[in-house]
Structure 1
Amino acid sequence: MSDTTRIDKWLWAARFFKTRSLATHAVELGRVQQNGQRVKPAHNVKAGDLIEVQQGEQQWQIRVLRILDMRGPAAVAQTMYQETPDSLAKRTQAAEDRKYFREPAAAMQGRPTKRDRRQIDLARG
Structure 2
Amino acid sequence: MINVQARYSDTKDKSEKLQMEKDALQKKLTAIDSHAKVGWRYFSSRFYYISTEQKTWSESRQDCRSRGGDLVIINSREKQEFIIKQLGNNEAWIGLSDRDTEGVWKWVDGTRLTTA
TM over 0.5: no
Q: Which has the higher strand share?
A: 1
Question: Looking at CA atoms only, which structure, 1 or 2, has the larger radius of gyration?
Answer: 2
TM range (shorter): under 0.3
Query: TM-score, normalising length from structure 2?
Result: 0.20
Query: TM-score, normalising length from structure 1?
Result: 0.19
Q: Which has the higher helix share?
A: 2
